[in-house]
Amino acid sequence: MRSTRLVLASITALLLLVLGWAWPVAAAPGLCVGPICGDEITRSAKHHFQLRMRISDQQGHRERITVDCRSAALSPAAGLVERGYAAAVARKACRLAGEAPA
C-alpha cells in the first residue's frame, strides 16, 4: 500500500515537473493580425496614450515600435516588418488597452 502511494506520488511529481517546463513553450505568440505578431506590449511611462511593442513577421524580422493610439501612428514609420499589418496589430493593441481614438 505504501509503495503504491510512493509510486503515485513520484509519477505526479514527475508530471508536474515536466508540464511545468513545457508550459511556456505552448504559450501563444501574442497579438497577431495576418502574418505579423506583436508581443511585449507595454504602456509608455511618459504618455499613457503611447504603447511600446515588439513586432515580428513569419520571415524572422523583428523590431520595436512605439504606437500613438490617438492617431494610430507608428514610430518608426518604415522598417523591415510590413507596416500595413503592423498598423492593424497596433490598432488592436490600442483597443484592448482602452486607448482607442474617440
In a domain, 44, yes or no: yes
In a domain, 40, yes or no: yes
- Strand-pairing partners, residue 68, are 50, 73
- pTM strictly above 0.85: no
- Domains in the chain, number: 1
pLDDT digits (tens, 9 = 90+) for 37-75: 999 999 988 888 999 999 999 999 999 999 999 998 999
- State the DSSP code for 44: -
Quote the domain boundaries for residue 52: 31-96
30 three-class SS? coil
pLDDT at 87 over 60: yes
* 40, 41, 44, 45 alpha-carbon torsion, rounded to 10°: -60
In a domain, 10, yes or no: no
Here the cell at position 50 is 503611447
